[in-house]
Chains A and B, each alone.
Chain A
């Protein structure tokens, strides 16, 4: 995926002011930055959230113009956003929804729908990745889930949908250290040479568990510095102001 000169705004507020980023298969990129720097906006723009208006720039994904695709089309082509605040949806069961999502993607790709048996087998296997309580599977989507359970459910869904590009929007926020380890472990098991991840985070902590290939620092709607994984440690020590001064 290649992002070039991306500008975006919500209502009348400009948030992204020229983001350039290239992510190749097999790579994990971390995006760090202070609150309001545009990290979450970037994640949501890539997933196709309609509230954000792209005013300039382009995103090419597997040779296609990503910005022209509807959110579900992006999902069918392998884009997945793990939400910072997963939405509770009463009346929609976790399982039904996932099965619909998987099969719509399969139909869109011209593949055969997944039968009930295969689906259940896959659920059992992938639930183990994030040590998810099977009782949560039949519950309504995220309803009554604790913060940690919601985040695990995000990674579980990601494991089920097997994306090519997984975007984690502050998945670590609100997680205790055990939950963080489980969630990170799930992501690590999904890593392969054929997929890529963008990990948006405020703290270096998550990157102890999900070790990135590249760390980017965002500030005021731009990526102001990129570097190897050690950059995250340096940031933790010296703070964002240090980067801003030296950018």
Chain B
């Protein structure tokens, strides 16, 4: 009987896992998940990122209590928060009550609190995104950060999300759900690192994070996907920025079997600014899809996007950047660029800028390039005695350095630079 069911409704087995959840709005979300089709080749937003195969597996519930050996700490001070298979691990995390006016905790402890209720599910509306419906129907756990008026963290928060399984374990469906709220003038910097240990490659991590950046507040996110043989990693960052608020994110993908990063930013108050940066270094069969949407909904907002990738092997890079400028969003400034270097004959890149502008007094630009490494430059370096492989690495590093240069936190920038150099050794 069950196999017939799967044929009739390929999502059924997966959605069955999401029943009886007590999270806010879970029932409606599950109903919506049942209605929404699995995005396929004909769904514009998912055209180059095939996800149907993710629904052909029988997932189990993730176990958060498995023993795990933590990776080395970052080479600079940070407050570490550890999630194992989506579950918060207080025993592995640092003391989180360090800064006045800042709450950092498992979101589970706050489901009935007023601040959560005011924002939860409001920034990342389900719309027709199946993965958001699934996440909302039954989150595993997640991180809540609440920064009150003028509050600042003394050091970055390092969220370490480990997906781990022993060989022979069934794949897991892990659904992290975060909520960051920054009140007026607050400032928060978060490093969100995804790592995989052991046999995690068949699992699916489906994350949703909502962030509210208040008046004059500043949120900086550093996302790092460093998951060799890792799970499919599908995530949505939905961000709302108020007047003079500042949101910046850098997304670095060094490994990933199937990575999809959705970032949706709504600029809702004049003077709001969004900066989106990304680097992807892909080889083997890696697949990375960066999808962004920036809504300029009011006048006098600015946004700037720069994504760069080096794609080799049989890997695929996808970029889709939409900038939407509402009719009365005058004096909008929006810049976007995506540049790619292909290595070898089997690597693929799909790049699509989308500008939709209804205001008349705007400055917007976009550009995308897909090319090969500059042969003249490589020859120049080699003629001085730099080996071909090293010349290629130097050029690759130089190519993505432009993105790194935009990162203000120099410690993170240097750490990332070193990790990228190591990755380039394999490319």
Whether B387 lies near A104 (C-beta < 8 A) is yes
Whether B381 lies near A89 (C-beta < 8 A) is yes
Whether B384 lies near A101 (C-beta < 8 A) is yes
Q: State the Cβ distance, A140 to closest chain B Cβ, in Å.
A: 8
The answer to whether A228 has its CB under 8 Å from any CB of chain B is no
Whether A75 lies near B398 (C-beta < 8 A) is no
Whether B388 lies near A97 (C-beta < 8 A) is no
Whether B382 lies near A100 (C-beta < 8 A) is no
Q: Which of B370-389 contact A (CB under 8 A)?
A: 374-377, 379-388
Whether A72 lies near B399 (C-beta < 8 A) is no
The answer to whether A47 has its CB under 8 Å from any CB of chain B is yes
Q: Which of B310-352 contact A (CB under 8 A)?
A: none
Whether A91 lies near B383 (C-beta < 8 A) is no
The answer to whether B116 has its CB under 8 Å from any CB of chain A is no
The answer to whether A124 has its CB under 8 Å from any CB of chain B is no
Q: Which of A54-78 contact B (CB under 8 A)?
A: 70-72, 74-76
Compute how far the CA of A91 lies from the CA of B384 in the bound complex, rounded to whole angstroms: 17
The answer to whether B397 has its CB under 8 Å from any CB of chain A is yes
Whether A161 lies near B401 (C-beta < 8 A) is no
Q: A48-B379, A72-B387 are in contact. List 14 more A-B contacts (CB 8 A).
A: A49-B383, A72-B385, A89-B377, A89-B381, A89-B398, A91-B398, A91-B401, A92-B381, A97-B384, A97-B386, A100-B386, A104-B386, A105-B385, A161-B384
Compute how far the CA of A97 lies from the CA of B399 in the bound complex, rounded to whole angstroms: 15
Whether B385 lies near A47 (C-beta < 8 A) is no
Compute how far the CA of A191 lies from the CA of B398 in the bound complex, rounded to whole angstroms: 35
Compute how far the CA of A91 lies from the CA of B383 in the bound complex, rounded to whole angstroms: 18
Whether A71 lies near B398 (C-beta < 8 A) is no
Secondary structure dominating the interface of B: helix
Compute how far the CA of A54 lies from the CA of B380 in the bound complex, rounded to whole angstroms: 19
Q: Across the interface, name the chain B residue whose C-beta is closest to A160.
A: B384
Please name 27 pairs of A and B residues whose Cβ atoms are closer than 8 Å in the assembled complex, sorted by A. A49-B383, A50-B375, A71-B383, A72-B385, A75-B383, A80-B383, A81-B383, A89-B380, A89-B381, A89-B398, A90-B398, A91-B398, A91-B399, A91-B401, A92-B381, A92-B395, A92-B398, A96-B394, A97-B384, A97-B386, A100-B386, A101-B384, A101-B385, A102-B385, A104-B386, A105-B385, A161-B385
Interface residue count on the A side (C-beta < 8 Å): 31
Compute how far the CA of A195 lies from the CA of B241 in the bound complex, rounded to whole angstroms: 66
The answer to whether B192 has its CB under 8 Å from any CB of chain A is no
Q: Across the interface, name the chain A residue whose C-beta is closest to B405.
A: A91
Q: State the Cβ distance, B38 to closest chain A Cβ, in Å.
A: 41
Q: Which of B383, B387, B402 has the most CB of A within 10 A?
A: B383
Whether B383 lies near A104 (C-beta < 8 A) is no
Compute how far the CA of A70 lies from the CA of B390 in the bound complex, rounded to whole angstroms: 14
The answer to whether A86 has its CB under 8 Å from any CB of chain B is yes
Interface size class of B (residues with CB under 8 A): 20 to 34
Q: Across the interface, name the chain A residue whose C-beta is closest to B404.
A: A91
The answer to whether A240 has its CB under 8 Å from any CB of chain B is no
Whether A104 lies near B385 (C-beta < 8 A) is yes
Compute how far the CA of A50 lies from the CA of B384 in the bound complex, rounded to whole angstroms: 15
Measured CB to CB, the residues of A under 8 A from B are 47-50, 70-72, 74-76, 80-81, 83, 86-87, 89-92, 96-98, 100-102, 104-105, 108, 140, 157, 161
Per-position binary interface string of chain B over residues 138-156, scored 1 when its CB falls under 8 Å from any chain A CB and 0 otherwise: 0000000000000000000
The list of the 3 closest CB pairs from A to B, nearest first, reads A91-B398, A75-B385, A71-B382
Whether A75 lies near B384 (C-beta < 8 A) is yes
Whether A86 lies near B398 (C-beta < 8 A) is no
Q: State the Cβ distance, A157 to closest chain B Cβ, in Å.
A: 6
Residues of chain B within 8 A (CB-CB) of A100 are: 386, 390, 394
Whether A72 lies near B382 (C-beta < 8 A) is yes
Residues of chain B within 8 A (CB-CB) of A48 are: 379, 382-383
Q: Across the interface, name the chain B residue whose C-beta is closest to A98.
A: B384
Q: Across the interface, name the chain A residue whose C-beta is closest to B382.
A: A71
Q: State the Cβ distance, A144 to closest chain B Cβ, in Å.
A: 15
Given contact pairs A76-B385, A157-B384, A49 touches B379 in the complex (Cβ within 8 A):
yes
Compute how far the CA of A70 lies from the CA of B378 in the bound complex, rounded to whole angstroms: 12
Q: State the Cβ distance, B286 to closest chain A Cβ, in Å.
A: 23
Compute how far the CA of A50 lies from the CA of B391 in the bound complex, rounded to whole angstroms: 15
Whether A75 lies near B382 (C-beta < 8 A) is yes
Compute how far the CA of A91 lies from the CA of B399 in the bound complex, rounded to whole angstroms: 7
Q: Which of B374, B382, B385, B394 has the most CB of A within 10 A?
A: B385
Whether B386 lies near A91 (C-beta < 8 A) is no
Q: State the Cβ distance, B405 to closest chain A Cβ, in Å.
A: 9
Compute how far the CA of A85 lies from the CA of B385 in the bound complex, rounded to whole angstroms: 18
Residues of chain B within 8 A (CB-CB) of A47 are: 383
Compute how far the CA of A140 lies from the CA of B401 in the bound complex, rounded to whole angstroms: 12
Whether B402 lies near A91 (C-beta < 8 A) is yes
Compute how far the CA of A9 lies from the CA of B380 in the bound complex, rounded to whole angstroms: 20
Compute how far the CA of A161 lies from the CA of B383 in the bound complex, rounded to whole angstroms: 11
Whether B383 lies near A97 (C-beta < 8 A) is no
